[in-house]
Amino acid sequence: MRVTLRRRRAIAIAGGARGHGGNLMLTPRQYAAYEFIAGFLERWGFAPSYEEIRRHLGLRSLNAVAKLIAQLRRRGALAPSPLNAKRSLTPLAWGRARSGRVGRPVRGAERAAATIPLLGVVAAGEPIEAIENPEPVEVPPSLLGPGERYALRVRGDSMIEDGIHDGDLIVVRRALEADDGRTVVAVVDGEATLKRFYRHGAQVELRAANAALRPMQFPASRVQIRGILIGLLRRYS
């Protein structure tokens, strides 16, 4: 992929969907956003969030990110998202182009890889199916932070309306307590489940994100929280 500077204000990316001679014309800021998204997607298998783009570019608000994404879509650099999801950003003029005068390193996408252990499988109404030899899972820096983190593979569709599908990997922060409304890994009488958590006095409600499933209520003494959902990993083939 060839990148050239035009009039000090625009970058031409060869192979783009629009522009003169098959080139895609982007301003330096648009190109920086494009390159960050492409690099992040190439490394992690999914696009960065608006907040990650905002931090990388030093923008003041998520609204500024939304405007920048809209500009890239109008210029044909990003494919429109069929679900309008903030992590469905697909560069059309694919590549890791560089410009010595304008392009800058994709810092957020090129940080040293971090890993957490994949401990097992969580499914509604079953104990956590532990993996004998936990394997490392590579995660983006945005999912790291204070506290112990681990990954579980989801089995079933009880949280599908929250975008959590059968086979997804979830990132969990180990915890013994949670605020109302948080999605937690909970154990009830030795059986594990992934549900939204609500406390009602001496009762605990575990609520699925699936209209076909009814909420479940238990005495608080029977429910043990093992962790709080903080992220989701999904790779598209």
197, β-bridge pairs = 206
Q: What's the length of the chain?
A: 237
112: how many CB neighbours lie within 10 A of its CB? 5
From the number of C-beta atoms within 10 Å of its C-beta (0-12, 13-18, 19+), residue 57 rates as middle
* Catalytic status, residue 195: yes
Rounded CA-CA distance 120/100 in Å is: 45
Q: Which of 49, 99, 142, 195 is catalytic?
A: 195
> Residues 151, 138, 35, CA angle at the centre, nearest 5°?
130
* Catalytic status, residue 158: yes
From the number of C-beta atoms within 10 Å of its C-beta (0-12, 13-18, 19+), residue 17 rates as middle
| Token pair 């895609």 in the structure block, residue | 24
Catalytically annotated residues: 158, 195
